[in-house]
């Protein structure tokens, strides 16, 4: 049974998908304090969260079976992604399901702010008729500055255009041409501050964006500007905002998100010109159904089919791509595993060459599969496609990759060179047909080996009787040979023999083979 824990409120449609899937058991346990979550997380293969659960290194340490964290929504600042990656846990989000809803919330906040709707509601309910005091402003013909032209920012810009606002955009990672093509002006941040009547932030919370709107930024803005933050708490510095509103520089602000959530006591709340919502940006029925369904399907697809969609710490391998490169990932994994057993001492470098028609294929997942195969026998913890590149880096292994379209003997060939202090081993592999994995070269030897099961790799002198002697020794110990491949050294006098046996060959028999005449070395391999 695959066990899924839902630790934040998730739309029913998502929970139902888990319940309807054979082999999956789902528990919903929301609002757990960290120490409670830590106690139970060890039982689960998957964790579904929103913005409340903090997936810290400590939680991940306790999550011995965890394979995937699925975020029903976008922001992942509550997940320690490097720690998850190191432990081989896929972290995925649902990047599109709530973007319209959140953009609509930003527009709603702007309208509520400019027309004093929350203040009007409060004063009316308190028995007042503050018609004069609560006079507002039109947004028509005003300038909206959008910081961050991603999925949400671009929708906000589009909806503001419908309100007949002039929209200016700052996003250093989107080309001015793209912004202009969408019908908006791309300007610098300082220009945006100087020109905007309203500013809405739609950037992720990063080191560079934390405190982006601070006292220095407010000083560059128009007097009477209004600020909206439906992105992440702390992108707008709360203390500086409080001062800027109190001084009248900023005419008002609308916050959906806070530096600490829930914020508890907050000086900003003393200001009439501050309106707020408790992180409601994504909270519509539609968005919650979208993200719940998406996260459930993605998690199931990953745990059952190995399909990776919308992961932030591992390349996506989905649908058509998986069909195309999945078999090469299997080739890579076997080659890595074979190289691990051939390696004499710690690995210094790994060189991966893709030769032939790999056009249009992103080979990153194959390279990761190679590293996974190679590193698995070398480390104590589980290596998978998520943490393999990090593990290689931590071990100081230099990984290089190249692709050449010119095919030689095979239409697709993967060559893997692994170097240690003592030298380099070269293994080349391919697919015959759609699924048959063949290792076609080991160092100087050409062969066609099916890399599976118990294998003895024997180097011997290419003399009459050598192979017969090996067969007789194994037969005497009742060990049946399933397959045998003999490769001849190019222009040499040695053979390489791969013997696939039905059972593992005991160490004393290996010693006996080693002492036989004409046998140079015997290496047992488990593939």
DSSP conformation class of 395: T
* List 58, 185, 243, 261, catalytic entry: 261
Q: Is 261 a catalytic residue?
A: yes
Identity of the residue, 232 or 438, whose beta carbon is nearer to ligand HPV in the bound complex: 232
Positive/negative CA dihedral, 35, 40, 44, 49: negative
Residue 233 in tokens:
């708490």
The answer to whether 268 and 234 have CB atoms below 8 angstroms apart is no
Cβ of 332: how many Cβ atoms within 10 Å? 28
Q: Residue 398 and residue 392: Cα distance in Å, rounded?
A: 8
Q: Residue 59 and residue 186: Cα distance in Å, rounded?
A: 42
Query: Distance from CA of residue 386 to its chain's centroid?
Result: 8
Identity of the residue, 74 or 299, whose beta carbon is nearer to ligand HPV in the bound complex: 74
Name which position in 67, 205, 279, 438 contacts ligand HPV (CB under 6 A): 279
* List 87, 159, 232, 334, catalytic entry: 232
Cβ of 371: how many Cβ atoms within 10 Å? 26
The answer to whether 292 and 13 have CB atoms below 8 angstroms apart is yes
Residues 247-266 that bind ligand NAI (CB under 6 A): 256-257
Q: Is 232 a catalytic residue?
A: yes
116 binds ligand HPV (CB under 6 A): no
Residues 210-239 that bind ligand NAI (CB under 6 A): 230-232
Which contacts of 504-508 are long-range, i.e. CB under 8 A and separated by 24 or more positions?
Answer: 504/454, 505/454, 505/456, 505/474, 505/477, 505/479, 506/477
Name which position in 109, 152, 437, 499 contacts ligand NAI (CB under 6 A): 152
Query: Which part of the chain contacts ligand HPV (CB under 6 A), choosing from 40-48, 274-282, 486-494, 510-518?
Result: 274-282
Q: Is 279 a catalytic residue?
A: yes
Residue nearest to ligand NAI (CB): 150
CB of residue 152 vs ligand NAI: minimum separation in angstroms? 3
298 binds ligand HPV (CB under 6 A): no
Which option in ligand NAI, ligand HPV, none does residue 60 bind, with CB closer than 5 to 8 A by kind? none
Nearest C-alpha neighbor of 3 from the set 42, 58, 34 = 42
Q: Residue 442 and residue 472: Cα distance in Å, rounded?
A: 26
DSSP conformation class of 68: E
Q: Residue 510 and residue 512: Cα distance in Å, rounded?
A: 5
Identity of the residue, 72 or 322, whose beta carbon is nearer to ligand NAI in the bound complex: 72
Q: How distant, in Å, are the alpha carbons of 369, 406, 427, 429, 518 from that of 411?
A: 20, 9, 17, 11, 37
Which option in ligand NAI, ligand HPV, none does residue 444 bind, with CB closer than 5 to 8 A by kind? none
Name which position in 11, 73, 120, 327 contacts ligand HPV (CB under 6 A): 73
75 binds ligand HPV (CB under 6 A): yes
Site string for ligand NAI, 44-83 (x = CB under 6 A): -----------------------------xxx--------
Query: Which part of the chain contacts ligand NAI (CB under 6 A), choosing from 201-209, 237-245, 261-269, 367-375?
Result: 201-209
Nearest C-alpha neighbor of 203 from the set 260, 138, 238, 154 = 154
CB of residue 107 vs ligand NAI: minimum separation in angstroms? 13
Residues 28-67 that bind ligand HPV (CB under 6 A): 50-51
Stretch (H or E) spanning 181: helix 176-181
Binding region for ligand HPV (CB under 6 A): 50-51, 73-75, 98, 279, 281-283
Catalytic residues: 232, 261, 279
Task: Summarize as ranges the residues that interact with ligand NAI (CB under 6 A).
Answer: 73-75, 98-99, 102, 147-153, 170-174, 202-205, 208-209, 230-232, 256-257, 279, 281-282
């Amino acid at each position: 049974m695959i066990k899924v824990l839902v630790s934040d409120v998730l739309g029913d449609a998502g929970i139902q998908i888990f319940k309807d899937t054979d082999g999956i058991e789902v528990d919903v346990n929301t609002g757990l304090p960290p120490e409670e979550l830590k106690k139970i997380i060890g039982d689960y293969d998957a964790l579904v969260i929103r913005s409340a659960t903090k997936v810290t290194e400590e939680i991940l340490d306790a999550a011995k079976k965890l394979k995937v964290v699925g975020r029903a929504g976008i922001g992942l600042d509550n997940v320690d992604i490097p720690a998850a990656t190191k432990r081989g846990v896929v972290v995925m989000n649902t990047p599109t399901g709530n973007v319209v809803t959140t953009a609509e919330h930003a527009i709603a906040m702007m309208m509520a702010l400019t027309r004093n709707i929350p203040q009007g509601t409060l004063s009316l309910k308190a028995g007042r008729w503050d018609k004069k005091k609560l006079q507002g402003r039109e947004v028509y013909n005003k300038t909206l500055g959008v910081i961050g032209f991603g999925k949400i920012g671009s929708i906000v810009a589009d909806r503001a255009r419908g309100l007949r606002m002039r929209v200016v955009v700052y996003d250093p990672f989107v080309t001015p041409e793209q912004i202009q093509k969408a019908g908006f002006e791309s300007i610098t941040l300082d220009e945006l501050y100087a020109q905007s009547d309203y500013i809405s932030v739609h950037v992720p919370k990063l080191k560079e964006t934390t405190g982006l709107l601070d006292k220095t930024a407010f000083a560059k803005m128009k007097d009477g500007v209004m600020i909206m933050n439906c992105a992440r708490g702390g992108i707008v510095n709360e203390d500086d905002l409080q001062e800027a509103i109190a001084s009248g520089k900023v005419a008002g602000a609308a916050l959906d998100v806070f530096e600490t959530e829930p914020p508890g006591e907050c000086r900003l709340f003393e200001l009439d010109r501050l309106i707020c919502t408790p992180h409601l940006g994504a909270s519509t029925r539609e968005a919650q159904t979208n993200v719940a369904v998406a996260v459930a399907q993605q998690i199931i697809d990953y745990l059952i089919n190995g399909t990776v969609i919308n992961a932030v710490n591992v390349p996506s391998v989905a649908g058509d791509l998986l069909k195309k490169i999945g078999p090469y990932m299997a080739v890579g994994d076997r080659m890595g595993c074979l190289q691990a057993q051939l390696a004499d001492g710690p690995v210094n470098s790994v060189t991966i060459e893709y030769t032939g028609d790999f056009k249009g294929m992103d080979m990153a997942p194959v390279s990761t599969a190679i590293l996974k195969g190679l590193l698995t026998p070398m480390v104590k913890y589980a290596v998978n496609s998520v943490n393999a590149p990090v593990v290689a880096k931590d071990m100081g292994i230099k990984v290089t990759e190249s692709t050449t379209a010119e095919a030689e003997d095979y239409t697709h060939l993967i060559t893997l060179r692994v170097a240690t202090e003592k030298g380099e081993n070269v293994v080349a592999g391919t697919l015959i047909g759609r699924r048959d994995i063949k290792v076609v070269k080991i160092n100087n030897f050409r062969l066609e080996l099916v890399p599976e099961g118990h294998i003895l790799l024997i180097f011997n002198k290419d003399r009459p009787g050598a192979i017969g002697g090996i067969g007789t020794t194994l037969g005497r110990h009742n060990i049946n040979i399933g397959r045998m491949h003999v490769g001849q050294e190019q222009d040499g006098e040695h053979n390489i023999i791969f013997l696939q046996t039905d059972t593992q060959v005991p160490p004393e028999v290996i010693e006996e083979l080693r002492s036989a005449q004409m046998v140079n070395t015997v290496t047992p391999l488990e593939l």
